[in-house]
Structures are given as structure tokens and as C-alpha cells.
Structure 1
Amino acid sequence: MKKGKNIILFTGFALLMLLSVSCKKVLDQEPRNSTYGEAFWKDPNAGTTAVAGNYALMRDMLSTGMINTDNRYYAYGETAANLGYTMFAADGYGNMDIQNGNFAHNYVAASLGDWTAYYKTIAMANIILKQMNAVPESVLAVHDNPENYKNNILGQALFIRALTYFMLVRTWGDVPLVIEAYDDPIRAPHLGRTPKLEVMAQIEKDCKEALTYLKWEYNNSSEKSVTANKGAVNALLAHLYLWRATVSNVSSTTPIMADVDKAAEAIFEIETRGSYALTDTSNYYQTFIGRSSESIFEINKSENTLEGTNRHIANLFLNRDYINGYGINPFYRVNQSYLNSHFYKVETVTAWAWYWDPPGQWVWREGTTTTKSPDNSDIRRRKNFTLSENNVDMCIKYSNVIYRNPGQKLDHRISNNMNIFRLADMKLLKAEIAIYKNQDPVAVDIINSFRTRNNAHASQLLTAAAPRDSVMNAYIEERYKELFLEGHIFYDLIRTRKCFDIIGWLSPTSNRFAQEGFYWPVAPALFKENKYLVQTQYWRGKI
């Protein structure tokens, strides 16, 4: 293992104080002390408390960001694609710059270029791995099965570290690799950025080790979906393998088939052993409220455990029809072009009309014309989007609003968990895998199954003989219909190279993709504390 450097300077590890309540659920354990001190680990339940804090750090890591961004997870995975939504007007903080690919804007680079929160999360995971391995068996003897207890804690920490690094490597490419817990992080050695392939190898290693510790089932119902199990680890592996298969060498459009096969194996494990099921469309919104039958891993933001938030991505998409005190327009509006290009029907109409007869005259006769028009039959169109009173297209996918002062409708909280991995995502990835394997009819069947399930118009169904490019286009359309505002589309477009067609600033003529200009710059402030740190290649000299 390569030793890494904790880039972040912080004075201690009392980071678990982010937790706000002390009920007996795994994500709500009240910390009593620093997680690094020896006394802390003499408590037989210290591992549970530490993991709860680690998940709290991950939630904070993904849920904060630039002013008017809420949250960085969506800024990286959605806003940068500049496809589904846009602001009403520039806000002065650079949000429109993200959509235009200008990550060097002062506010953008300083905030979303800062990976501090990621390394805090990693530092905590490293501490748990080091300290939990050192806890004497006698301390854990109070548990019914001390070995299972210890294994679960280790598996959770490994998953958290692996997922955090995966998010880092997709956003920045080469990143410092920190896999050691230092007694004094301020005096830890300074190291530069580790090549992304080495980082991905470590992610894979952590995942494989986590699989040996974790089970498919949860210890109790409160852990379902919001902590890791074998399903969550396999979902992470599926995404890791497809990213590595397609982005390891951006000059090639040929995926690394060994990794494609590994992704298929991970998804096979999920489908055959995970006991997951797609949410019934009659209970559509439960998928996004949380802990549904298809949820594999999500970040807990439920008001049931007092972790609902008024800093949710939904705050930018809802108006006064959904949140008392808000204005007539949401901060972001859904692009009509997205709706028309993803939810439509093609019909052939027979009618009498004037037709030009090549000899040189107009003829009144019966004929056929093909028309393309908006279609509202798809349940995802009907459930996820609506018009405001000002005729603005809004996304209401996350609209489970709860008031802490319900009588006066004050102090609202959005109680929708943040989906990271769910079964629909995995099933759609199988279509991408089939395309890479030259099994286009398999991909067509998967895409059509989603369209049929969601009541899309019959004209949306592909034929078995559809050409490759049409199948890939349909796949990307289906991903963004199913996973709108779930943080996937930007990375989908990079993997499949459909970014060339959709993201203007990554067009083939710009040469930016070849220079890996889809990665983000590092915040300038981080260079003050590490003399070995270098700027992301594309952004050198630009920031």
C-alpha cells in the first residue's frame, strides 16, 4: 500500500459532533469523546458511534457546496452536464459557469474545487480501521457475536473510504492517496497526487475486503439502505469497473473488456442475491423519500430521525406551491428542451392535404405525415415534473416537505434521502455493458422494459435491429429519464462519449476531452499547505 497524506489540517477528531440526536439508530449515536483517544475505544459500542460519525461526515461532504448550489454532489454529476435544467439568471456566484464548463471561476474553484470534506471523511475511516483492529476481544465480549460486530464496523469503514475515493477520482482524476491513520495529522508527510489508476486499484482492494466483512442482510431495520451491505459494495464496484473500463485511456473509445465483465459480475450478484425489487409505480415517490425496495445505498436525510434539511437540492427546484414563504419561481427551472427530447411520441397521421406534384403543380390528395410531439404518458414525466402558476417547468421529484412548526407552516425540512445506488441504476448499466459486448438486442430489451414499465408511448420502443448509435442514444435518454437529478448523467456522458454530442464545451473540436478537461481544478487555497500538490493538468495556467 502506498502511504498517503492527509491534506486537511484540523486539530483533532471530535468530528462526530456533527450528529444532532441520540436515538438508538445507527446514524444517530451520540458521540461522547474524540474517536482517536484510547479511552474512546474502551467502550464496546465505540465502533458503532464512530461509523455513525463517519456517515455524518459523508452526508456533510455531499450536502455542502458553493452558495446557491446545494449540493456539490449534484453540481459535479448534474449541473456540469448542462442538460436538464438551468437558472433563471446569473446569480453572481458562478453557477452558470459550471454549466458552461468554466470551473476556474473564482467562487466555483474556491468552493467546489476544495476536497477538504472528502479527506475529513477518509481520515475518520482510516482511524476506525486502525483503532477497531486494535480493540481487544475482551472489550467486545458484551456483544452476542463479537467477531460479527467487529467485521461490520471494518466493512462499513472500508466502504466509506472506497466510495469517497471513487467520488474523488471521478471528479479530480489523480488525487492524494491516504490510507493510514496518523497520530498527528498536522505532522503527516506531504505527498502529491497519486495516479488515478493506483487510486482505483485501492478502491477495488477496499471493496473486495469489505465484501469479506459485510453481509447481505442488515443488523436491524434502522440500518437498511443508509449503511453498507454487500449490495452497496457491489454497486460501487459496478460503477468503478465501468469508469475504469472507459476513462482509463480517454484517447480510446474501446472499453477495457476485463473491467466490463467485472461490472457485469457485480450486478449479477446484486440481482441474484440482494433481494432488491423495483418500486411499484403506484408507490412511485417512496423511491425518493427513502428506504424503498430498490434502494441499495442512500444518504440519510429523513426527518423521521430529525435529519431532514433545508439545504436540500429540492430547495432549488421548488416554489411557494410546495414550500411556504418561497417565491413564485424556483431557483432552477427544468429545460423545456429536456422534456421535449426525452418524453415524446412519434405518430403517423393520414389526412387529406395539398401535396406538391413534381411535374409542377399542387395536388389535393390523401397522404401520411409523421409528427413528433410531447408525451405525458410516461409516469416519470407525470410524477417528476409540473408547471408552476407562472408556467415554469419544475422538478418535484423531491418534495416531501415537513414543517417543524406545522401549525404555521414554518421551519421546513425536505425529508428525501439522497439516492446514490438503486436497482434501476444497476439494471440500466446492464444495457451499457451489453452495448460494449456487441449485444445490442439485449440492450434494446432492457431499454424497452423500462419504457414499457413506465407507460411510455409505444413509438418510444426500439426495434431489435436498431443501429448501434440509436441504441446508445436511447440508453442515455433512458438513464436521464430514470435517474434525473440523482447525480449520474455527467459521468454517464463521459463514459459513453455521448458528451461529444450533448455537452458543448466537450465537443470533439475543442480538444478539451482529450486533455481530460472534464476533471475539476484544485482549489488554490489547498496549495498553501502542501508543496507537493500540483494543479489538475488541464487547469494549469488557467487558474
Structure 2
Amino acid sequence: MKALINKTVSLLLIILLFGSCVKQVLDKKPVSSFPGEDFYKTPDDAQAGVNGIYNAAQGVFRINFAYWGEARADNVQTAQSGESLTLTQNNLTESAVSANWTGLYTMISRANYAIAYIPNAYPGDPDGGKQLMGQARALRALAYFYLVRVWGDVPLVTEPYTSIEQDIFVSKTNKEQVLDQIETDLGYAVQNCADRFNNNDDRIKFTKGGAYALLAQVYMWRKKYAEAATASKMVLDNSLYTLAASMDDWGKIFTNSYSSESIFEIGYNETQTNSLRVLYAVGSDAMFTPSAKFRSSYEQGDKRIPYVYDTTVATPKAIWKFLGKGVSDEDPSPSRQNIVLIRLADILLLRAEALARTGGTNIAESLSLLNRIRQRAGLPAFETEAAAAARYGDLESAILHERSIELCFEGHRWFDLVRTGKAITTMRPVNGLSDERNLVWPVFVSVLNKNPNLEQSEFYK
């Protein structure tokens, strides 16, 4: 009886947590009450349920995209204490703020309700709501992809909690099984998401192109290079996406949002702001600034760099990329720019890498794709694979270097180092990283305390 009472109380707490009022997702009305079976009665209800998932994503990524994707890598440094120092020095503990996965599971919980109950809003129409379910499954895949890359093995939950008979104390699932579920969700999304919305929703909601782009990232993480090449081609062939033509346009990808190069952004506005200014440009030193290693890594004449930080000072105090060239680091106003999670240059370079790794006749196209990014930045093309290898060791390393510069501070560098097996060799001289088990984060202490079936990540036991 005591166990049943404890389980009932825990379920009620989850209902209160996931059913609390949420702010609007930009100008779209989200779910504002517990999103159970009785809520999904009309198509508007179904749309509101999906908006609630996007709303949860706003909270997740407002600062964590940089904590998880940049802070442990070699492109940033910090003069601050707290989380930024913890991460850059690789001193993670179970009390690290970035070790808390609760926000990602809020996304997943809302997605699970939407996926289960959206069909109720379309009685008699078996195809009704599939486009919204595609978005929900893409968002669930996005959340699980971050979970796997940050923590490795994680609990896999794909059904909504509707009964006290369900086990709410879920143990970890092998990461490969979680990745299989991600691929399944994205397989559904690429079939059922809308081709386009013909407005700004093309950039802040999942379309077929966005689902294919995320799938390409997943395939690269799993070293499925042929599959990644296929998925990435679907993105490159999509007329919704074009590379920014000039450096001014390149800068506007991040400062103005909704660019034609953008594939998926987390949307913010004057009311729903994010932490970009805190991360990159406030006070005498931002939370993260360009590392000395990064500042010495780019080629002379690279036209991107003056848009990234102030090159006229010896030690820059801010990163301009998201907030604008010449941004004042004394301006305390909240940042409302969207956070660009996926864009065309990212997928183009992933395709170049996938083709380089498959070799043979694919090398020519790989070089061509790499050179598109280099030449836009004002750098000379590599005429041959040998030319790329002469400068960076091999073609794959040349592409990885290009990703480091082109995608700097966008939340990719750490994941690139891990998936290519270069995290330890790159970071050992910087912060002493030396153990493969240390590549994942610890599980947050309060999460462990609430679930007796969870174990701490091996390195942090």
C-alpha cells in the first residue's frame, strides 16, 4: 500500500510538472493545461499541443545549446567562475547545471501526449493530424538525440503517463536502442511533415527538410555515411534552402534570424528571450570568449572572422556572431535573436565528410562542397585532395577544420570532436581529458534522488 501511495504521489507530481501553464510559442497558443486524452478534441487543440513542445524547446536550448555543444571544446575560454569554468576545465560533477536533463524530458513528455492523442482530434480521418504528428516526432527525436550525445545511455519513454500502473521509475536504455527510436521517429517525420509553410514557420517548425537534416546528423553520429549522404542530398536539393551569398548576409543568419540558409531555429522574441547575451557578450567578459587556440586556427583573409569577434583587440571580450558585428558588451538588454540549431552549411559539410569517408569517385564532390564554403569566406579552393591533405593532414580533417570555423559557437564543436574520435587528443592538452567514459555528462543529483532505478554515469560514480 505504501508503495502504491508513493507511486500515486509521484505520478501527480509529474502531472503538475508537465501540465503547468506555459508561455506562448511566439504568436502561437500552446497547451496551457495537462495535455491528456480529453484535451485533444479539435485540430486547434492538436496544434496547441505541438506548440507546447516548441515552447518546452525554448527553455531547453536558451543556454544549453552552448553548454552542451561548445563549452567542453577547444574554441572557447572563460574568465568567469561557475558553470562556464566547470565545463571548460572538465570538472563536471553531478551538481553541474548542464547535467540536468529535465527540460529535455519535458519536451519528450509533451511529444508523447501529442503523438498518442492527436488522432483523437481528427475522428474518421486516418490521415488527419499526420503533419502535426510528424513535427511532434521530429521534436522528440531532437530531444533524444541531445540526450544520447550528452549522457549516452538514457531512459527511453515513448508513451504518455496515464495510469498509476505504469512504471515511472524508468532505468536507462542502451544508447543504440535510443538511436534506433530516433531514426524511426525521423523516418515518420520525413514522410509526414509539411514541405513548407511559406512563412517564418519554415525556419522555426519542422518541415520535411528539417527532418532530413536532423536525420543526416544522426546518421553521421552513427557513422552511417552512405545513409547520411542520401539524407543530406534531400536537403541540398530542397529549394527552401540556399547559402547566404555575401558576408553581410552570412552575418544576418544569426542576428536577423529566418534566413534562407537556416533549416531549423529555436524561435524567440521580445517576450521570450534567451541567454545569448549572457553567454557571449555582456559585461567586461562574456561567459565564453574565443579561445587563443581558435583565434590562431583560421586562415589569413577569412572574411567571416570580423563578424565573429573584434579582431582589433588582443583579447576579445565578446563573441559578436549571434548579436551583431560591433555589439556593445555593456548592453544588458535581453537577446531575442533565434538560436540557429541546423543550417545548410552544416549539412553541406556533413555531406562532404560522408562522401570523403566513402571515398572513390565521391572525393570530387566532397572537395567541391568544401570549396563552396571556403570560397564564400574568401579562401582559395583546394584543387585536389592532396592539397587539402597538405594543409590539414587529410580531407576529413580539412572538413572538420572548416566546420570548426564556419559553425563556430553554434553548438557543434564538442559533438564533432566526440563523433570523429578526436575529443581526447584535442582536449587532453587543454584540460586533461583522458578517459572515454568522461565524454558523457554525469546525471544531475536531483534526477538521481527522484528515481531509485537510475545509476550515475560510470565515470562519475
- The reply to whether residue 244 of structure 1 matches residue 227 of structure 2 is no
> Displacement, 1:333?
2.5
SS, match of residue 296 in structure 1? strand
Q: Which residue of 2 aligns with 1:526?
A: 447
TM-score (norm 1): 0.74
- The reply to whether residue 266 of structure 1 matches residue 231 of structure 2 is yes
CA distance, structure 1, for counterparts of residue 186 and residue 11 of structure 2: 23
CA distance, structure 2, for counterparts of residue 533 and residue 505 of structure 1: 33
Q: Which residue of 2 aligns with 1:486?
A: 410
User: Structure 1 273/392 Cα, relative in aligned 2: closer, same or farther at 3 Å?
Assistant: closer
Q: Which residue of 2 aligns with 1:127?
A: 113
> Displacement, 1:391?
5.3
- The reply to whether residue 50 of structure 1 matches residue 49 of structure 2 is yes
- The reply to whether residue 137 of structure 1 matches residue 100 of structure 2 is no
CA distance, structure 2, for counterparts of residue 7 and residue 31 of structure 1: 19
- The reply to whether residue 277 of structure 1 matches residue 277 of structure 2 is no
CA distance, structure 2, for counterparts of residue 240 and residue 182 of structure 1: 27
Any conservation in 2 of the 1:16–1:54 contact (CA below 8 Å)?
Answer: no
CA distance, structure 2, for counterparts of residue 434 and residue 264 of structure 1: 7
Task: Indicate the structure with greater strand content.
Answer: 1
Q: Which residue of 2 aligns with 1:74?
A: 66
CA distance, structure 1, for counterparts of residue 342 and residue 450 of structure 2: 35
CA distance, structure 1, for counterparts of residue 319 and residue 406 of structure 2: 13
- For 1:313, the aligned partner's letter is L
CA distance, structure 1, for counterparts of residue 12 and residue 219 of structure 2: 29
- The reply to whether residue 295 of structure 1 matches residue 262 of structure 2 is yes
CA distance, structure 2, for counterparts of residue 284 and residue 189 of structure 1: 46
CA distance, structure 1, for counterparts of residue 286 and residue 438 of structure 2: 31
User: Structure 1 107/181 Cα, relative in aligned 2: closer, same or farther at 3 Å?
Assistant: closer
Any conservation in 1 of the 2:155–2:170 contact (CA below 8 Å)?
Answer: yes
CA distance, structure 2, for counterparts of residue 396 and residue 536 of structure 1: 36
CA distance, structure 1, for counterparts of residue 288 and residue 393 of structure 2: 31
CA distance, structure 1, for counterparts of residue 162 and residue 407 of structure 2: 42
Q: Which residue of 1 aligns with 2:306?
A: 382
CA distance, structure 1, for counterparts of residue 57 and residue 356 of structure 2: 34
- The reply to whether residue 113 of structure 1 matches residue 112 of structure 2 is no
Any conservation in 2 of the 1:336–1:393 contact (CA below 8 Å)?
Answer: no
2:294 aligned to which of 338, 341, 344: 338
CA distance, structure 2, for counterparts of residue 124 and residue 524 of structure 1: 23
- The reply to whether residue 536 of structure 1 matches residue 460 of structure 2 is no
Q: Which residue of 1 aligns with 2:5?
A: none
The Cα offsets for residues 337-382 of structure 1, whole Å up to 9 and x where unpaired, read as 312212x3xxxxxxxxxxxxxxxxxxxxxxxxxxxxxx3x322112
> Displacement, 1:510?
6.9
Any conservation in 2 of the 1:121–1:161 contact (CA below 8 Å)?
Answer: yes
> Displacement, 1:119?
1.0
> Displacement, 1:160?
0.9
SS, match of residue 18 in structure 1? coil
User: Structure 1 191/230 Cα, relative in aligned 2: closer, same or farther at 3 Å?
Assistant: same
CA distance, structure 2, for counterparts of residue 470 and residue 387 of structure 1: 29
> Displacement, 1:464?
3.2
- For 2:400, the aligned partner's letter is I
SS, match of residue 341 in structure 1? coil
> Displacement, 1:184?
4.1
> Displacement, 1:56?
0.6
Q: Which residue of 2 aligns with 1:41?
A: 40
User: Structure 1 154/201 Cα, relative in aligned 2: closer, same or farther at 3 Å?
Assistant: same
The Cα offsets for residues 509-542 of structure 1, whole Å up to 9 and x where unpaired, read as 97512xx3201111122222322211222222xx
CA distance, structure 2, for counterparts of residue 520 and residue 228 of structure 1: 28
User: Structure 1 511/341 Cα, relative in aligned 2: closer, same or farther at 3 Å?
Assistant: closer
| Identical positions, percent | 25
- For 1:207, the aligned partner's letter is L
- For 1:446, the aligned partner's letter is L
- The reply to whether residue 11 of structure 1 matches residue 15 of structure 2 is yes
User: Structure 1 410/387 Cα, relative in aligned 2: closer, same or farther at 3 Å?
Assistant: closer
CA distance, structure 1, for counterparts of residue 415 and residue 143 of structure 2: 16
- The reply to whether residue 477 of structure 1 matches residue 416 of structure 2 is no
Any conservation in 2 of the 1:125–1:160 contact (CA below 8 Å)?
Answer: yes
User: Structure 1 384/491 Cα, relative in aligned 2: closer, same or farther at 3 Å?
Assistant: same
1:100 aligned to which of 62, 65, 89: 89
Unaligned stretches of 5+ residues in structure 1: 1-5, 64-70, 139-145, 246-258, 320-326, 345-374, 402-408
Higher alpha-carbon Rg: 1
CA distance, structure 2, for counterparts of residue 495 and residue 430 of structure 1: 15
1:182 aligned to which of 150, 157, 161: 161
> Displacement, 1:473?
2.7
The aligned runs of 1:348-387 (5 Å cut-off) are 375=300, 377-387=301-311
The Cα offsets for residues 91-143 of structure 1, whole Å up to 9 and x where unpaired, read as 1x242231222222x642xx2222111111111101111111233527xxxxx
- The reply to whether residue 208 of structure 1 matches residue 187 of structure 2 is yes
Q: Which residue of 2 aligns with 1:169?
A: 148
Any conservation in 2 of the 1:297–1:421 contact (CA below 8 Å)?
Answer: yes
RMSD of the alignment, in Å? Answer: 2.9
CA distance, structure 2, for counterparts of residue 482 and residue 190 of structure 1: 42
Q: Which residue of 2 aligns with 1:87?
A: 78
TM-score (norm 2): 0.87
Any conservation in 2 of the 1:190–1:530 contact (CA below 8 Å)?
Answer: yes
Q: Which residue of 2 aligns with 1:447?
A: 370
> Displacement, 1:260?
1.0
The Cα offsets for residues 164-188 of structure 1, whole Å up to 9 and x where unpaired, read as 1111011111111000112147963
- For 1:54, the aligned partner's letter is I
Any conservation in 1 of the 2:309–2:316 contact (CA below 8 Å)?
Answer: no
Q: Which residue of 2 aligns with 1:355?
A: none
Unaligned stretches of 5+ residues in structure 2: 1-9
CA distance, structure 1, for counterparts of residue 216 and residue 313 of structure 2: 42
CA distance, structure 1, for counterparts of residue 343 and residue 237 of structure 2: 15
Task: Indicate the structure with greater helix content.
Answer: 2
Any conservation in 2 of the 1:50–1:128 contact (CA below 8 Å)?
Answer: yes
Any conservation in 1 of the 2:265–2:339 contact (CA below 8 Å)?
Answer: yes
The aligned runs of 1:487-502 (5 Å cut-off) are 487-502=411-426
User: Structure 1 222/452 Cα, relative in aligned 2: closer, same or farther at 3 Å?
Assistant: closer
